[in-house]
Amino acid sequence: MAKIIEEISRTFSEYLIIPGLTTKQHTLDNVNLQTPLVRFKKGQEPAISLNIPFVSSIMQSVSDSGLAIALAKEGGLSFIYGSQSVQEQARMVKEVKNYKAGFVESRANITPEHTLKDVIELKERTGFSTIGVTHDGTPNGTFLGLITGRDYRLTKDSPEMKVKDFMTPFADLITAENGLTLSEANDIIWEHKLNTLPVLGENQTLKYFVFRKDYESHKEYPNELSDSHKRLIVGAGINTRDYQERVPALVEAGVDVMCIDSSDGFSEWQKDTIHYIKNNFGSDILVGAGNVVDRDGFMYLAEAGADFVKVGVGGGSICITREQKGIGRGQATSIIEVAKARDEYFKKTGDYVPICSDGGIVQDYHMTLALAMGADFLMMGRYFARFDESPTRKLLIGGNYVKEYWGEGSNRARNWQRYDMGGNSNLKFEEGVDSYVPYAGKLKDNLEMTTGKIKSTMCSCGVTSIKELQAEAKLTLVSSTSIIEGGAHDVIVKETKN
């Protein structure tokens, strides 16, 4: 018969944190959320440390270049999804590495032959009111004009009116050539009283926009995650099928770290992928692996050379692996066991291999629990999919704004390489769903609130770093009735209007 593990598979919702002594030194300003991203030797520093313990999921509906830029500016990191062509993924990596603060690539574009109706649909879908008109509707096509809300009147103009008939044409616009500094761009904006300055490359191709509102609301990003050349740090997802083609292109594009994306990382295919990367590109090319849920899985990938190990099977909000295959484990139990294995491996070898908790986060306090249980950082999909910066459409459904969110194991993503079992087999069933998540606004605003909650909890524990949290925090199991006790109860809650 099968080996039966008697320990109950537990989730984050089954735990609470017991307060520790909060001294006068335990204030939010004194809390440091820096954490290692990749393997390092005892007494040394990791090649990359995160300034906040968050990375975004390797998903079509989450991690493109736009989110990667926004998250890196806040101190986290995105792994740009790999379920796309090698060329397009490499282009996104280059876009992040070439990003210049204040210079924004146009994410809403249209051709002159489209109509006002198309403009309105594009504006509703993307949320952007400034639209670049290019010859082919791409972000870097030949720049022909600009559309803002001042160029049309919905009450009087025909929906079938052509873009070319109401756009502000190139000849009437003040533009700048690529290569100028942000300070020079802002001087042009102020001198000519502009709201938007298009920045053009060779042959009149659109490169960036610089906005007056960004200058007026610009704040420094003290947590920005950047390399030694002051370029933003970015990751990329790979699979165990086409890595010999994908990895060289990503390395050439300047990727800082890669991660093998799979629902089950305890496999020889992941070992082969890691060995290929290390043997052909050297130990300086960093790659994480996963996902696993126990000591055996962690030890296998750590010994194979993984620079970090991702933990979690079936706990994502759009993942149905447990329903379909009966494979997985409660995320809290997984993290606790794998964290012990990481510490055991560190004591034995002197190599610290960080672990990433992937899935199982429902409430913000679950993030603090995951860190206290031993996770070095968290990978999240649903959390980031809600923001303006994610690549999906914003829709109005039932009177509420939502954003699309689908799993890599869904038929929509068609990311079958993620579920590779070798040979020529094909995935015959889905392990993810297609869904919506409530729209939440800008990443920066939400992230500040979330990290504030984590820091506040850490102060209540009497700690100021993640390592201290892992060493000092006390956790307690909760009963179903104590969960009810912890929320609003025995009262009639007033309805509030937004």
For residue 214, pLDDT beyond 80: no
Radius of gyration of the chain (CA): 24
Task: Point out the catalytic residue in the list 259, 319, 356, 461.
Answer: 319
**pLDDT band at 339, cuts 50/70/90?**
very high
What pLDDT, in 10s, does the model give residues 151-174?
999 888 999 999 999 999 999 999
Task: Point out the catalytic residue in the list 39, 342, 382, 418.
Answer: 418
Residue among 364, 467, 448, 389 at smallest CA distance from 74: 448
pLDDT at 43: 96
CA angle at 237 for the pair 236 and 241, rounded to the nearest 5°: 135
Check if 418 is active-site. Answer: yes
What pLDDT, in 10s, does the model give residues 484-496?
777 777 788 777 6
3-state secondary structure of 214: helix
Rounded to an integer, what distance in angstroms lies between the CA atom of residue 27 and that of residue 458?
A: 9
What pLDDT, in 10s, does the model give residues 365-413?
999 999 999 999 999 999 999 999 999 999 999 999 999 998 776 666 5
3-state secondary structure of 354: coil
Lowest mean pLDDT among 75-84, 126-135, 329-338: 126-135
Rounded to an integer, what distance in angstroms lies between the CA atom of residue 29 and that of residue 32?
A: 8
Predicted TM-score (pTM) of this structure: 0.78
**pLDDT band at 416, cuts 50/70/90?**
very low
**pLDDT band at 187, cuts 50/70/90?**
very high
Check if 382 is active-site. Answer: no
Calculate mean pLDDT across residues 22-38. Answer: 97
75: left (phi over 0), alpha (psi -120 to 50) or beta: left
- Percentage of the chain surpassing pLDDT 70? 91
pLDDT at 1: 83
pLDDT at 105: 84
